[in-house]
């Protein structure tokens, strides 16, 4: 070969869309394609993008294999670059076409570094250290660098993971996955959006539950809409005053996935005070009797997919009806920085239903949610106020239960809002 390397530009068409969105399958296939061709694999780095698409590269001693996929088109663009004559990139081409279940492919081979156009200048290499393997020296262990990325057009969160997809099933409502991340432990995602991780889930679940319960200590019956991971009911059931907790989750796969792979979060599903219902929360609320619950928590995902109907005025009017005269509704209310329009719309809706002086916003820091700043709403049907609570009792409870985030000081501090959040809630155009 009268060149330094061979570069094949490949296009695979009519591939399996599911495989084109499976970062683990793609990484394994790319590594295997390199090894089958006789290459020595040094490193692999792969990203899965939300909602779909994978990019990655396998670094080989002889150069690299790279890919980017468009699952919605069943298409993959692949680069196969090998140096010298020891590796045949066409072996990798054939392997990947089969692995991706491609209907057909096209390719173009380039010879890189034409030797007859170059002159070797060995004298310029005298100062370079020779780092080539010595005889009988073992080349280092392959390192893997596999990433999950949740993104939209303006922002992204990337988490490195082990490449082990612990759980992946498609329900009638959404794609349910659990991925083992390196920094945050097992992570639940729904349609590619992060729901909770083992390392930081306690922030969300402690703040959505303990604030309303200490603000309304007479609460006896609580309803949770959504929350199939189990974290919210786990925190509620720490309170002995609660006689009944009803959890209504539409997707039984969420419960199954968390029981298997987030057991610390899903620990309370067998509690005798829990009434677990796998059904549509919107329909449940419509059929619920007036004034049944002292506390209703809407522990929903973002306003897309099966949770979309939980972000409507009609739904919240039904929630209001189902509350006792002194009842409280708490919801997650998005990031005021990341999703400002939805954030404002949510609070305008609550104020119309509960009254402007009965709706309060509070914040918590959740690293794996967009921008890290997340909001919750506290809406009171009666006289309960989130800043009128027994601080000594809250402090003792936090200590006794070994809570990781909530305490009496965090309870108060959470309602101290930055000016930009106040401006949003007051209708200012400045964001």
- Catalytic, out of 44, 48, 83, 294: 83
- Catalytic, out of 68, 79, 340, 385: 68
**301 is annotated as contributing to ligand binding:** yes
| 63 a catalytic residue | yes
In degrees, to the nearest 5, what angle opens at C-alpha 405 toward C-alphas 399 and 411? Answer: 85
Name residues whose C-beta falls within 8 Å of residue 232's C-beta, 6 or more positions apart in sequence.
205, 208, 209, 224, 247, 297, 299
**Pairing relation of β-strands 3-13 and 75-83?**
antiparallel
- Catalytic, out of 63, 375, 379, 380: 63
| 196 a catalytic residue | no
**79 is annotated as contributing to ligand binding:** no
- Catalytic, out of 92, 251, 299, 380: 299
CA distances (Å), origin 156, targets 150, 191, 335, 367: 6, 15, 14, 12
**263 is annotated as contributing to ligand binding:** no
**294 is annotated as contributing to ligand binding:** no
Q: For 133, which DSSP code?
A: P
Element (DSSP H or E) covering residue 201: helix 201-215
Count of beta carbons in the 10 Å neighbourhood of residue 382: 14
**411 is annotated as contributing to ligand binding:** no
Count of beta carbons in the 10 Å neighbourhood of residue 314: 11
Distance CA 26, CA 277 (A): 38
Distance CA 300, CA 174 (A): 14
**249 is annotated as contributing to ligand binding:** yes
**145 is annotated as contributing to ligand binding:** no
Distance CA 168, CA 177 (A): 4
| 122 a catalytic residue | no
Phi, psi values for residue 236, rounded to 5° = -60, -40
**161 is annotated as contributing to ligand binding:** no
**205 is annotated as contributing to ligand binding:** yes
238 touches 215 (CB < 8 A): no
| 429 a catalytic residue | no
Where helices occur in 216-312 by DSSP H, the ranges are 231-236, 252-261, 281-287
Binding site members for spermidine: 205, 229, 299-302
Residues marked active site are found at 63, 68, 83, 299
Binding site members: 174, 205, 229, 249, 280-281, 299-302, 306
Binding site members for S-methyl-5'-thioadenosine: 174, 249, 280-281, 306
């Amino acid at each position: 070969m009268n060149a330094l390397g061979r570069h094949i530009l490949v296009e695979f068409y009519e591939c399996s869309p599911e495989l084109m969105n499976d970062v683990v399958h793609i990484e394994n296939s790319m590594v295997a394609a390199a090894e089958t061709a006789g290459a020595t694999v040094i490193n692999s780095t792969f990203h899965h993008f939300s909602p779909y698409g994978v990019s990655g590269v396998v670094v080989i001693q002889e150069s690299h294999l790279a890919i980017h996929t468009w699952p919605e088109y069943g298409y993959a663009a692949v680069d196969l670059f090998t140096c010298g004559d020891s590796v045949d990139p066409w072996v990798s081409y054939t392997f990947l076409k089969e692995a991706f279940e491609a209907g057909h492919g096209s390719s173009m081979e380039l010879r890189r570094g034409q030797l007859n156009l170059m002159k070797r200048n060995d004298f310029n290499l005298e100062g370079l250290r020779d780092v080539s393997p010595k005889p009988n020296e073992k080349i280092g262990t392959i390192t893997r660098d596999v990433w999950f990325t949740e993104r939209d057009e303006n922002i992204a969160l990337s988490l490195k993971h082990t490449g082990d997809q612990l759980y992946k099933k498609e329900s009638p409502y959404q794609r349910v996955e659990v991925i083992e991340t390196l920094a945050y432990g097992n992570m639940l995602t729904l349609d590619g959006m992060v729901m909770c991780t083992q390392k930081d889930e306690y922030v969300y679940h402690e703040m959505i539950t303990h604030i309303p319960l200490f603000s309304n200590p007479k609460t006896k019956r609580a309803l949770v809409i959504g929350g199939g991971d189990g974290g919210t009911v786990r925190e509620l059931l720490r309170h002995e005053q609660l006689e009944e907790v009803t959890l209504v989750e539409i997707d039984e796969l969420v419960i199954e996935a968390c029981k298997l792979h987030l057991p610390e979060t899903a620990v309370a599903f067998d509690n005798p005070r829990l009434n677990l219902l796998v059904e549509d929360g919107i329909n449940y609320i419509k059929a619920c009797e007036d004034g049944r619950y002292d506390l209703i928590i809407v522990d929903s995902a973002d306003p897309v997919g099966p949770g979309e109907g939980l972000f409507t005025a009609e739904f919240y009017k039904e929630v209001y009806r189902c509350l006792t005269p002194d009842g409280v509704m708490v919801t997650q209310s998005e990031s005021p920085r990341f999703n400002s329009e939805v954030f404002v719309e949510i609070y305008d809706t609550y104020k119309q239903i509960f009254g402007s002086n009965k709706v309060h916003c509070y914040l918590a820091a959740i690293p794996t949610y967009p921008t890290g700043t997340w909001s919750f709403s506290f809406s009171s049907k009666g006289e309960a106020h989130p800043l009128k609570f027994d601080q000594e009792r809250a402090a003792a409870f936090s200590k006794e239960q070994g809570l990781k985030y909530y305490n009496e000081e965090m309870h108060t501090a959470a309602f101290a809002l930055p000016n930009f959040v106040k401006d949003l809630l007051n209708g200012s155009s400045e964001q």
